[in-house]
Amino acid sequence: MQIALVGIGKIALDQHVPAITDSPDWELAATVSRQGSVGGVPAFTDFDRMLAERPDIRVVSLCLPPVPRFDYAARAIRAGRHVMLEKPPGATLSECHALADMARAQRVSLYATWHSRQADKVPGAKAWLKDKNLRRVTITWKEDVRQWHPGQDWVFEAGGLGVFDPGINALSILTEILPDPIHLCAAELHFPENRETPIAANCRFYHPQGAEVTLDLDWLEPGSPTWSIEVVAEEGHMLMENGGGKLTIDGAPDKCVPGLSGEYPRLYSQMADLVKTGTVDIDLAPMRHVADAFTLGKRVTVAPFEW
């Protein structure tokens, strides 16, 4: 199937382009970007022009920041195209619900992707947790924004999510592996005095078994990042590290090898299946927790942030 990639930045070049190129399901038929391009692929700078001139391209993958994503997705759906959304799927929950309604009305597929759910050890963690009595769940997601988003001011602008941009990856894994639903009950968000989104956050969640569930986010972590989920249960101990790339159960490493290698190859394989069946897949659980944090969280002003 032919696909157009919209927004040719670092994530598109590092992850999306290789996944599409190596996939037996896809052909990268066009790109849309004001600046970036992919060698040998027809490049457009105007999205509407691409839609008009390439009716043969039935699928669009959007790698734009959250705020402009709704407008592009809505135009693609109205043009009868299937749409794949980078995380988070929109700037607000309302936008995402609206896109899902549009897609169903137009009978096209819509896929809200959560790439961290496709990490190698997520299935193993989910399988182990399904019948456990939980006592404590500790999520620690710390990294250096200067390394992962160098000079990208949009992450600190309204709608950019701030530290919840990586934090939503942790929440996407958490909502996939926990057998019981949770909801946020308290949060503290640290906003640099010169920025519109938080640079650190601490969150606490209600768990139906009474387990202590906490999330610690920091975007000023020096050195190597920490992306871990630790679970203490009556039956044992689980530690997931490297954003889902490493899993140990009671100190023993999980040795299961997934059938398809890589988060983004798995996403594009799933998108191919959705297009073939005309299915809408838009799970908003990770984004709901972020929205709750912004609604309920105590705002604390901290030192200004400069690149």
Annotated domain spans of the chain: 2-112, 116-257+290-302
Residue 120, token pair as written in the block: 């190698």
Q: How far is CA 297 from CA 157, 220, 300, in A?
A: 18, 20, 9
For the segment 208-235, the average pLDDT, to the nearest whole number, is 97
Per-residue pLDDT averaged across 227-232, rounded? 98
Q: Is the confidence at residue 155, as pLDDT, over 90? A: yes
CATH superfamily name and code, 2-112: NAD(P)-binding Rossmann-like Domain (3.40.50.720)
Judged against a pLDDT cut of 80, whether residue 258 lies above it is answered with no
Q: Give the count of alpha carbons within 13 A of 152, CB side only.
A: 19
pLDDT, the chain, mean: 96
Distance, in Å, from the CA atom of 186 to the CA atom of 71, rounded to the nearest integer, reads 33
Q: Which long-range contacts (CB under 8 A, 24 or more apart) does 195-198 make?
A: 195/156, 195/162, 195/304, 195/305, 196/156, 196/157, 196/158, 196/160, 196/162, 197/155, 197/156, 197/157, 197/158, 197/160, 197/161, 197/162, 197/163, 197/164, 198/162, 198/163, 198/164
Could you tell me the sign of the dihedral formed by the alpha carbons of 62, 165, 272, 180, in that order? negative
93 touches 159 (CB < 8 A): no
Which pLDDT tens digit goes with each residue over 49-74? Answer: 999 999 999 999 999 999 999 999 99
| pLDDT for position 280 | 97
Mutual angle of helices 122-129 and 164-177, in 10-degree steps = 50
- 260 pLDDT tier (thresholds 50, 70, 90): low
Query: How big is the chain by its Cα radius of gyration, in Å?
Result: 20
Reported as a single tens digit per residue, the pLDDT across 83-142 is 999 999 999 999 999 999 999 999 999 999 999 999 999 999 999 999 999 999 999 999
pLDDT at 261 over 90: no
CATH homologous superfamily of 116-257+290-302 equals Dihydrodipicolinate Reductase; domain 2 (3.30.360.10)
Q: What is the pLDDT of residue 255?
A: 81
The pLDDT, as a whole number, for residue 150 is: 92
What tens digit of pLDDT does each residue of 2-29 get? 999 999 998 999 999 999 999 999 999 9
State residue 192's pLDDT score.
98
Percentage of the residues of the chain whose pLDDT score is greater than 90:
96
Report the catalytic residues: 87
Mean pLDDT for 270-284 is 96
pLDDT interval class at 1 (50, 70, 90): very high
Rounded to two decimals, the pTM is 0.95
